[in-house]
A and B are shown apart, each in its own frame.
Chain A
Amino acid sequence: MTAMNVGAANREALERLCRARPAWTAVRPAREAIGLSGRTLLHAGPPIEWKRMCWPMRGAVRAAALFEGWVRSAEEADALAAAGEITFVPCASHGAVGPMAGIISPETPVLVVEDRVNGTSACSFIADGPWGHQLRFGAHGPETLAGLAWVRDVVAPAFATVLEREGPIDLASLMAQALSMGDEMHMRNAAATGLLARRLAAPLVAAAPNAAELEKILRFVTRDNDQFFLAWSMCAAKAAARAIEDLPGSTVVSTMARNGIEFGIRVAGLGERWFTGPASVVDGLYFPGFTAADANRDTGDSAIMETYGLGGMAMAASPAVQKIVGAKSFADAVQTTRDMGEICVGGNPLFPIAPLGGDGTPTAIDIRKVVQTGIVPRINTAIAHAKASRMIGAGIATPPSGPFVDALVAFGERYPA
Chain B
Amino acid sequence: MPVRATVWRGFYQDSVVLMHVAAEVRALPGVRLAAALMGTPANHELLSSAGLATPDSKNATAADLVLAVDAATDAEAEAALAAAKGFFDERRRARESTGRALPRTLDGALKQMPDANVALISVPGDYAKLEALTALRRGLHVFLFSDNVPVGDEVELKRLALAQQRLCMGPDCGTAYLGGVGLGFANVVPRGRIGCVAAAGTGLQAVASHVATLGEGISHGIGVGGRDLSAEVGGMMTFFALRKLADDPSTDAIVIIAKPPAPEVMPQLDAAIRTITKPVVVCALGAAVPASAPATWVTTLEDAAEAAVAGIRGRAWAPRSFTDAAAVRSRVAAIAAGARPRGALLGLFTGGTLAHEARVILEPLVGPVNIDGAAPGSAHRVIDLGADEFTRGRAHPMIDVAARDSRIREAGAAADVAVLLVDLVLGRGAHPDPGPSLAAAIRDARATAERDGRTLVAIASVVGTDGDPQGLARQIAELRAADVHVLPSSAQAARSAALVLDPRLASRLLSA
Contacts and interface: CB of A to CB of B under 8 A. Distances in A.
Is B truly associated with A?
yes
Interface of A: 3, 334-335, 338-339, 341-342, 369, 372-375
Interface string B74-114: 00000000000000000000000000010111011001000
Given A338-B101, A339-B104, A374 B130 contact: no
B126 to A, nearest CB: 13
A342 B137 contact: no
B63 A374 contact: yes
B10 interface: yes
Contacts of A3: 137
A373 B101 contact: no
B105 A369 contact: yes
Contacts of A334: 101
Nearest to A375: B104
Nearest to B111: A341
Contacts of A338: 101
Contacts of A374: 10, 63
A341 B108 contact: yes
A373 B105 contact: yes
A373 B104 CA distance: 7
A342 B105 contact: yes
Interface residues of B, number: 11
Interface of B: 10, 63, 101, 103-105, 107-108, 111, 130, 137
A335 B105 contact: no
Helix, strand, loop or mixed for chain A's interface? helix
A341 to B, nearest CB: 7
Contacts of B130: 372
Give the 3 A-B CB pairs with smallest separation, nearest first: A342-B104, A373-B104, A342-B108
A185 B351 CA distance: 58
A339 B102 CA distance: 10
20 contacts: A3-B137, A334-B101, A335-B101, A338-B101, A339-B104, A341-B108, A341-B111, A342-B103, A342-B104, A342-B105, A342-B107, A342-B108, A369-B105, A372-B105, A372-B130, A373-B104, A373-B105, A374-B10, A374-B63, A375-B104
Nearest to B99: A331
A369 to B, nearest CB: 7
A375 B103 CA distance: 12
Contacts of A342: 103-105, 107-108
A339 B101 CA distance: 10
A41 B137 CA distance: 48
A417 to B, nearest CB: 12
Contacts of B108: 341-342
A8 B472 CA distance: 54
Contacts of B105: 342, 369, 372-373
A374 B137 CA distance: 22
Nearest to A338: B101
Most chain B C-beta atoms within 10 Å of own C-beta, residue among A339, A341, A369, A372? A372
B134 to A, nearest CB: 9
Contacts of B111: 341
Nearest to A7: B137
